[in-house]
Amino acid sequence: MSNNEIVFVTGNANKLKEVQSILTQEVDNNNKTIHLINEALDLEELQDTDLNAIALAKGKQAVAALGKGKPVFVEDTALRFDEFNGLPGAYIKWFLKSMGLEKIVKMLEPFENKNAEAVTTICFADSRGEYHFFQGITRGKIVPSRGPTTFGWDSIFEPFDSHGLTYAEMSKDAKNAISHRGKAFAQFKEYLYQNDF
């Protein structure tokens, strides 16, 4: 598309804000501008521990809903506990909704190893109908909630390279610089500025 419009399908206002902030940051952009359009489609999510498979299933639904030829991307975020061999994974959103932060921390109490990784997987369908994947991973540990509890599980995840802060205690820019979502979208942004889509 000549005007570089891409559609981000999400119903999560916090994610949208974060992604807008990342994709519009200054880059060597060859005078290219990307216009982000939001669609809050309700996409079904697949049960799987393969995060690309979940993202692809959402991507295909988005393409089916919007029609082929329109560049569109979806993202899915997982929180993988080492001790749980990667679970709750993509199901973390259901645990958050059903149990809340305190009980998520509590169910790890009997386990010494609190390490976890936060993963964002982006599935991008270009105008030719080809799918591309971008993934960002940030390792850290699960801790009792610290900081604002307004964005998902940010207050119980302390990245290893955050100088002891949880995501929720970090500034937006500091978080985006090391976060799973920041890393995934940095790759995606580079791709968008260097390729026709």
181 annotated as belonging to a binding site for a ligand:
yes
- The least CB distance from residue 63 to its own copies, in Å, is 17
Counting beta carbons within 10 angstroms of the beta carbon of residue 159, is it exposed (0 to 12), middle (13 to 18) or buried (19 or more)? buried
d(Cα 121, Cα 9) in Å, to the nearest integer? Answer: 13
166 annotated as belonging to a binding site for a ligand:
no
The residues binding its own copies (CB under 8 A) are 44-47, 49, 57, 83-91, 94-95, 98-99, 103, 106-111
Angle, CA of 106, 108 and 111, to the nearest 5°? 135
Instruction: Give the start-end residues of each E strand in 48-178.
Output: 72-81, 88-89, 115-125, 131-142, 157-159
Amino acid (one-letter) located at 166:
T
15 annotated as belonging to a binding site for a ligand:
yes
Residue closer to its own copies by CB (options 6, 101) is 101
Residue closer to its own copies by CB (options 48, 169) is 48
Find all residues with CB under 8 Å of 7, minimum gap 6, and list them.
37, 38, 39, 62, 66, 70, 71, 72, 73
Residue closer to its own copies by CB (options 10, 179) is 10
- The least CB distance from residue 20 to its own copies, in Å, is 26
Residue closer to its own copies by CB (options 106, 163) is 106
- The least CB distance from residue 56 to its own copies, in Å, is 11
Residue closer to its own copies by CB (options 109, 161) is 109
Q: Give how far Cα 79 sits from Cα of 32, 38, 49, 85, Å.
A: 34, 24, 11, 11
53 annotated as belonging to a binding site for a ligand:
no
- The least CB distance from residue 33 to its own copies, in Å, is 35
11 annotated as belonging to a binding site for a ligand:
yes
- The least CB distance from residue 70 to its own copies, in Å, is 24
Find all residues with CB under 8 Å of 75, minimum gap 6, and list them.
8, 10, 15, 19, 55, 120, 121, 122, 123, 181, 184
128 annotated as belonging to a binding site for a ligand:
no
> Residue positions in the annotated binding site?
10-15, 45, 58, 76-77, 93, 151-154, 175, 180-181
Residue numbering of the annotated binding site for ITP: 10-15, 58, 76-77, 93, 151-154, 175, 180-181
Q: Which residues are annotated as a binding site for Mg(2+)?
A: 45
